Amino acid sequence: MTGQAAWTPTADGVTLSVRVTPRGGRDAVEGFVDLADGRQALKARVSVAPEDGKANAAVIRLLARLLDVPATQVELVAGATARLKTFRIRGDAEAIAGRLAAL
């Protein structure tokens, strides 16, 4: 990875930058992408359209499965209507960071 990592440990878990492609044909994570400002983001696609929060909900479910945490522990904290979103994942920060690093 180059630049700043896509996740930051916090007291109760991690915050994670995610670049989302709605209507992507399937729900999947495709590794990490370098952003223009030097940061990184997890690249994710979801099959649903970005209407009425459906794409955000699909990303939450995808992240919960990927990181092996309950969906209730994944919260959208920024970027509700943008492609670049920030999520807070509550749980063991070390374990979550390990799962992200393995990608």
pLDDT for the residue 13: 95
Q: Is 71 helix (H, G, I), strand (E, B) or coil?
A: helix
The candidate with the shortest Cα–Cα distance to 76, out of 5, 84, 22, is 84
pTM of the model: 0.91
- With a cut of 50, say whether residue 70 has pLDDT above it: yes
- Annotated domain spans of the chain: 7-101
Q: Are 10 and 94 in contact (CB under 8 A)?
A: no
Residues 6+ positions from 65 with CB-CB distance below 8 Å: none
- With a cut of 90, say whether residue 87 has pLDDT above it: yes
Superfamily (CATH) of domain 7-101 = YggU-like (3.30.1200.10)
- With a cut of 60, say whether residue 102 has pLDDT above it: yes
Over residues 2-20, mean pLDDT: 89
Q: What pLDDT digit, counting tens, does each position of 20-37 carry?
A: 999 988 999 999 999 998
- With a cut of 50, say whether residue 1 has pLDDT above it: no
- Say if strands 13-21 and 40-45 run parallel, antiparallel, or are unpaired: parallel
